[in-house]
């Protein structure tokens, strides 16, 4: 008897659910009201001028440190080309040459190239606020 009540209850729910919908598609009214879509303006890329202060070189990544005119530290992290996976969709910042000390007599982990320290650079961002390029200011 208990099973019959559950079965009847389930059938009743199915029947009521079917009754909510129109029997045929011609009875359904199509919504023809015009929808106003606001076009959001894409944020512009930004450029920040900053001074090169240091870098830290790791096995597969280098972090470049800059100081903005406001005194904020800006870190640009770049994955080594040999550590990148083919076909990945990540954004890699384009960096100038000679940012890392390449002295062959250097012992230990290299740091910032002495000739580049203290120079002004433009740090360029895309619309996703990712650094896309760092270039020497003129």
Read off the pLDDT of residues 107-123 as tens digits, 9 standing for 90 and up. Answer: 999 999 999 999 999 99
Question: How many C-beta atoms lie closer than 10 Å to residue 99's C-beta?
Answer: 21
Q: Is the pLDDT of residue 93 over 60?
A: yes
Residue (of 104, 113, 21, 103) closest to 62 by Cα position: 113
Read off the pLDDT of residues 61-84 as tens digits, 9 standing for 90 and up. Answer: 999 999 999 999 999 999 888 888
End-to-end CA distance of the chain: 89
- Element at 136 (helix H, strand E): strand 131-136
Q: Where are the domains of the chain?
A: 47-136
**b or e along 16-37 (b: 16 or more beta carbons within 10 Å of the residue's beta carbon)?**
eeeeeeeeeeeeeeeeeeeeee
Please, which pLDDT band fits residue 12 given cuts at 50, 70 and 90? very low
| Distance separating alpha carbons of residues 113 and 119, to the nearest angstrom | 11
Please, which pLDDT band fits residue 137 given cuts at 50, 70 and 90? very high
Please, which pLDDT band fits residue 86 given cuts at 50, 70 and 90? confident
């Amino acid at each position: 008897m208990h099973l019959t009540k559950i079965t009847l209850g389930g059938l009743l729910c199915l029947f009521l659910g079917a009754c909510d919908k129109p029997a045929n598609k011609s009875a359904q009214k199509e919504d023809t009201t015009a929808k106003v879509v606001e076009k959001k303006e894409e944020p512009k890329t930004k450029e920040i001028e900053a001074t090169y202060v240091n870098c830290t070189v790791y096995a597969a990544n280098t972090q470049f440190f800059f100081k903005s005119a406001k005194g904020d530290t800006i870190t640009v992290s770049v994955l080594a080309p040999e550590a990148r996976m083919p076909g990945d969709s990540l954004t890699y910042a384009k960096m100038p040459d000679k940012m890392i000390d390449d002295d062959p007599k250097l012992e230990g982990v290299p740091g910032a190239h002495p000739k580049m320290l203290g120079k002004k650079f433009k740090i360029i961002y895309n619309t996703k606020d990712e650094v896309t390029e760092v270039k020497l200011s003129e």
